[in-house]
Amino acid sequence: MARRFVTLDVFTEQRLAGNPLAVVLDAEGLDTAAMQAIAQEFNLSETVFVMPPTEARHRASLRIFTPGRELPFAGHPTVGTAVLLALQDPSRGDARAFGLEERIGIVPCVVETLADGSGGRARFRLPILPEYLGPGPEPALLAPLLGLKPADIGTGRHAPSRHGVGPSFTCVPVGSVTALDAARPAQAPDPNDGLYLYTPDPEGTGLSWRVRMFAPNFGVTEDPATGSAASAFAGVLMQFEALGDGTHDVAIRQGEAMGRPSEIALQLTIEAGALRSVEIGGAAVIVADGTLHV
């Protein structure tokens, strides 16, 4: 059977940067094993399979796979697929809002597309808030895994911690961009986690961070841009930063060490000292399209 697919680069406005994504648009009839095999064939950090929604008021139902496993939710597949679906439906105009059904729940998206049909920008609100999963491993354990010194682990008030938004992450602060760039990819001590390294961005303004994400246990040695980890990072900021009530915009740069620079916009809304909502946003651009014969 012929099935349409499109590849996009996500969290970037430039082709051949950001995080590549494959989207299979005609996924009805594929079982889980077939989807996993196709994701292995594409061998990108994630592949999305688009199916009709279970409720007509939503735009589509999505299943998301890394080369090694299915995910209940992921950020760059949500942004890229939202932009692509908006481009597939020009009758709705250049700006639109819809819900995407993912394993984590309904993900509300707002999309603006480019007039030339080459891409656009999307943002989405998490259907759940980040969950604190406990302290992270001690620096003496993490440093050898990463090829760093224990003194490289930690920055300001930050210490290793674990947070999740469906996918879970061991979040590791490092003291400098030099240490961040020197870290070697490793698997988190908890095999269910990705390993998310972060440090303040000396070139940024306000709340700006440089990050890397390793997940060889998911089939992804290093990811150029990780929206789910950025979502979990909202929990890190709530734990270690003195953020007051209001809306806080956070700039995240990822993929620099891979030659795939990416920019993720994270927004936190805090009311009465509690986190009330988390939004992730970014750009996506179409790279290629074709047909699968499976």
Interatomic CA distance for residues 100 and 83, integer angstroms:
12
Interatomic CA distance for residues 123 and 85, integer angstroms:
13
Q: What is the pLDDT of residue 93?
A: 59
Q: Please name which of 227, 183, 215 lies closest in space to residue 81, comparing C-alpha atoms.
A: 227
Q: What is the DSSP string of 35-89?
A: HHHHHHHHTSS-EEEEE--SSTTSSEEEEEE-SS-EES--HHHHHHHHHHHHHT-
Three-class secondary structure assignment of 236-265? HHHHHCCCCCEEEEEEEEECHHHCCCEEEE
Per CATH, 3-124+283-292 and 131-282 having the same topology is answered yes
| Alpha-carbon separation of residue 287 from 74, 117, 132, 213, 245 (angstroms) | 20, 12, 37, 23, 40
Catalytic residue among 13, 28, 41, 46: 46
Write down the pTM of the prediction.
0.95
Interatomic CA distance for residues 57 and 54, integer angstroms:
9
Domain boundaries defined on the chain: 3-124+283-292, 131-282
Interatomic CA distance for residues 268 and 74, integer angstroms:
18
Looking at residue 101, its amino acid is E
Q: What is the phi/psi pair of residue 87, to 5°?
A: -70, -30
Task: Per residue of the chain (294 residues), give pLDDT as tens.
Answer: 899 999 999 999 999 999 999 999 999 999 999 999 999 999 999 999 999 999 999 999 999 999 999 999 999 999 999 999 999 986 655 789 999 999 999 999 999 999 899 999 999 999 999 999 999 999 999 999 999 999 999 999 999 999 999 999 999 999 999 999 999 999 999 999 999 999 999 999 889 999 999 999 888 999 999 999 999 999 999 999 999 999 999 999 999 989 999 999 999 999 999 999 999 999 999 999 999 999
Centroid of chain to Cα 201: 19
Class of domain 131-282: alpha beta
Taking the CB of residue 192, how many other CB atoms lie within 10 A of it? 14
Taking the CB of residue 293, how many other CB atoms lie within 10 A of it? 6
- The domain made up of 3-124+283-292 has a fold known as Diaminopimelate Epimerase; Chain A, domain 1 (3.10.310)
Q: What is the DSSP string of 148-177?
A: --GGGB-BTTB--EEEESSSEEEEEEBS-H
Interatomic CA distance for residues 182 and 179, integer angstroms:
5
Helices (H), strands (E): how many in the chain? Answer: 5, 17
Q: What is the phi/psi pair of residue 27, to 5°?
A: -100, 0
Q: What is the pLDDT of residue 192?
A: 95
Q: What is the phi/psi pair of residue 41, to 5°?
A: -65, -45
Interatomic CA distance for residues 165 and 104, integer angstroms:
8
Active site residue 13: no
